[in-house]
A and B are shown apart, each in its own frame.
Chain A
Amino acid sequence: AQSVTQPDIHITVSEGASLELRCNYSYGATPYLFWYVQSPGQGLQLLLKYFSGDTLVQGIKGFEAEFKRSQSSFNLRKPSVHWSDAAEYFCAVGPNTGFQKLVFGTGTRLLVSP
């Protein structure tokens, strides 16, 4: 069965520092991979997605993620964090054919210190 693991429940980063959020997935075929962000009191917003091709994908708000098949990972990165990036981040995996039914990780809450 497909699954997503986000090993870090909370991460604290200083403003201006770089960020990497980890995501590992288990999936029987080539997956579609997504990162979503949830700001307090809001629904989830799509940051970026990977379907095929270049394994480094760019998203909104200066985020990027790299698909590494050999490590079953899809880590999210940002070179310089802003206070407004404080939110909860969810990684998700879905099938590359057929109906889109996503499986989400448990989320990583990002705290940004001044």
Chain B
Amino acid sequence: DVKVTQSSRYLVKRTGEKVFLECVQDMDHENMFWYRQDPGLGLRLIYFSYDVKMKEKGDIPEGYSVSREKKERFSLILESASTNQTSMYLCASSKGSYNSPLHFGNGTRLTVT
């Protein structure tokens, strides 16, 4: 089974802090994604990566950056956390072919106070 592991289940940070959310997948998938999940808004794509050191903006990239130095790891960075970034963050991965399903981690619930 594909395993996508997010390093923290719950995280509480202060406004202005730099925050790192880590995601690791163990199935040698080419594609990795960061989504944000909010009630009534569903999942919104923040950033994605289709190869090491490659990244593309999703629908809501403002206030976020990403890093993919190794194939199995995709990090989401909040340069200066704000209260409106309080949310559930979901990492996903998939194979490089276009019809491959996404495999999700269990999510990180981030609270910014």
Contact = CB atoms under 8 A, between A and B. Distances in A.
A104 B43 contact: yes
Interface stretch (B12-20, B63-71, B76-84, B104-112): B104-112
Interface in A44-69: 44-46, 49, 51
B102 A102 contact: yes
Interface of B: 4, 31, 35, 40-45, 48, 50, 58, 90, 92, 94, 98-107
* Most B C-beta atoms less than 10 A away, residue of A44, A51, A105: A44
Given A95-B98, A100-B31, A100-B100, A41 B106 contact: yes
Interface of A: 9, 32, 34, 36, 41-46, 49, 51, 90, 95-102, 104-107
Nearest to A34: B101
A105 B102 contact: no
Contacts of A41: 106
A96 B98 contact: yes
Residue from B31, B43, B92, B94 whose CB has the most chain A CB atoms within 10 Å: B43
A33 to B, nearest CB: 11
